[in-house]
Amino acid sequence: MLPTEKPGARSLADVLPNSARSLAREPNDLELPPVRSVVVVVVDGLGRSQLAARAGHARFLAARPREAITSVFPTTTAAALTTLTTGVMPGQHGLVGYRTLDVANDRLVNQLTGWDEGMTPQLWQREPTVFEQAAAGGIRSFAIGPSRFRSSGFTRAVLRGAEYRGANSISERFAEAARILATGEPSLAYLYIPELDKASHAYGWESPQWLSGLEAVDAELQSFVKALPQRVGVLVTADHGSIDVPHRSHVLFDQAPELVEGVRHVGGEPRCLHLYLEPGATDADRLALATLWEQSEGERAWVATRTDAVAAGLFGDVHPDVLPRIGDVLVAARKRVVYYDSRPLDQAARNMVGQHGSLTAEERIVPLVRLGAFER
């Protein structure tokens, strides 16, 4: 059985739209009071379970009441951040995984770094952003993140409508947010912190490097909130959590030939594979491949055809243009394993320790912490 969410459960899709409603002095589902400005801080990779397990290293955040909200499926940065900035699920905005199928060009595309002339950001990401909607109401928006992301295709796809302010350290990003607030003008700011996710991939979230990053985030947040002007609300959340997976738990699935027979492209990521069959594949072909995977991996992964995954609502409502971007068969790890294809020459990804992408609570449940004018 595929995991499903309770109807009405709060999710990442609620954060920015309700922040904008707070700025407009409108009723909102998060019950945020009217404010002059909002700062939404996204700590990439800071799941609820990771924060709870290391609360002693984040005493400021841990001392504040925090809610549990749900990220998207798959729990990958491209899909989750796009849901945050558009307020809709991946089946609508179109970024349904880490590497997904560009049907028109018969290729896999990396949703974070693979943007080129064949993938127009304004068309591939189908939905208006909350920043664009806020601008229509006279609210100025800002995105604060590393300078290297300023002109990327992903930035142009998911942060359009916001003025990008580059800042290369955590402290510089909070300083930039403080400068924006100091003008006194109403504003909606998104502040992105990728350092914890980077440390998780390289060393694992249980590593000293990750803990050091958490301590730095906590200290900067405390200083920032202490100096907040009046009527400024801050929300802290994350795009996903993480699981540390040892090398011995790598599953080289291509070594079972029947699991890749008829598969043209292997997309997704190690904890959530999108398997794309050859053109002309039928529903019977999809079901046959899913059955083989279920027989092989059913004890440690959820396996579903595209049809079943869509019917279960894993991607939300799915637009017809987005449907072929979803794998014919999906394999989402539920045990502490990852799935790798050993055939490509480049196996650098197998050096990653921290992993995410699947449906487990460690990956999918993230915190929502209210600070400043939102604290209660």
Residue 29: count other Cβ atoms within 10 Å of its Cβ.
11
Residue 8: count other Cβ atoms within 10 Å of its Cβ.
7
CB 144 within 8 A of CB 165: yes
| Domains present along the chain, CATH in parentheses | 12-244+359-372 (3.40.720.10), 247-354 (3.30.1360.180)
User: What's the pLDDT at 239?
Assistant: 98
User: What's the pLDDT at 19?
Assistant: 98
pLDDT digits (tens, 9 = 90+) for 274-320: 999 999 999 999 999 999 999 999 999 999 999 999 999 999 999 99
Neighbouring-strand partners of residue 339: 251
With a cut of 70, list the residues of the chain below it in pLDDT: none
Q: Helix, strand, or coil here: 239? A: coil
Residue 55 structure tokens: 């609360």
User: What's the pLDDT at 204?
Assistant: 98
Burial 152-188 (b: 16+ CB within 10 A, else e): bbbbbbbbbbbebbbbeebebbbebbeebbeeeebbb
User: What's the pLDDT at 156?
Assistant: 97
* Backbone dihedral angles phi then psi of residue 340, each to the nearest 5 degrees: -125, 145
User: What's the pLDDT at 94?
Assistant: 98
Rg (alpha carbons) of the chain, rounded to whole number? 20
User: What's the pLDDT at 376?
Assistant: 76
User: What's the pLDDT at 134?
Assistant: 96
User: What's the pLDDT at 5?
Assistant: 73
